[in-house]
Structure 1
Amino acid sequence: MWLLLDENLSKQLKQDFTEHEIFTVRDKGWNGIKNGELLKLMLADGFHALLTFNKNLQHQQNFEKYTLTVFVLNAEINQYKVLTKLSDKVKASLAAGDMLIGPIVIRQD
């Protein structure tokens, strides 16, 4: 599965998803690209899902138009030591194969 880490996430999260093809926005040279355009680029490049810390993305985009899964990591702070605790939930969703179109909010317990 092809995954993209949004620029608001630590690149360290790549190490949590070694069983997938995972790239950062920076890896792709897509820094500074707005969300709608980023989703278009992802579709064109064959990505399956975006991981982001942007809680507003789910309300700003029309996911009938962008047929991607977006994992919204919902935590108190945007630091690897906190976000890595959410990785198992994302991996469980990926392993289940029931990739929903649109946002899936992943919260801390």
Structure 2
Amino acid sequence: MDRSAERGWELLENGELIQRAEEDGYEVIVTTDQSMRYQQNLAGRKLGVVVLMATAWPRVRLRTAEIAEAIEAVRPGQAVEVPIPRHG
């Protein structure tokens, strides 16, 4: 799994990031940017977006199974949210 910083994409705006990811053949973007799905029109896009509903790694790492399921389930042009509870 690549990270945007490793690809030199960390300064790209969301629309540019999605475009570059599509051009490079990515099928899914995983993000903690909860506003991306509302700021970007995903209709007609070649990739899906998985939105993690938390940014704290200690909480996110406990939900890897749910994240993997969302990655498998999301379809092009679609956004799927993965709830990350505060506890448990």
TM-score (norm 1): 0.69
Deviation for aligned residue 1:29: 0.8
Aligned length: 84
Structure 1 pair 60–31 and aligned structure 2 pair: CA distance change class (3 A) = same
Matches within 5 A, 1:20-59: 22-59=1-38
* Runs of 4 or more consecutive aligned structure 1 residues displaced over 4 Å after TM superposition: none
2:81 corresponds to 1:105: yes
Aligned to 1:89: 66
Structure 1 pair 79–108 and aligned structure 2 pair: CA distance change class (3 A) = closer
Deviation for aligned residue 1:42: 0.3
The structure in which a higher percent of residues are strand is: 1
Cα pair 1:51 1:70 within 8 Å, conserved = yes
CA RMSD of aligned residues (A): 1.5
For structure 2, list consecutive stretches of 5 or more residues without a partner in the other structure. Answer: none
For structure 1, list consecutive stretches of 5 or more residues without a partner in the other structure. Answer: 1-21
Aligned equivalents of 1:67, 1:102: Cα separation in 2: 9
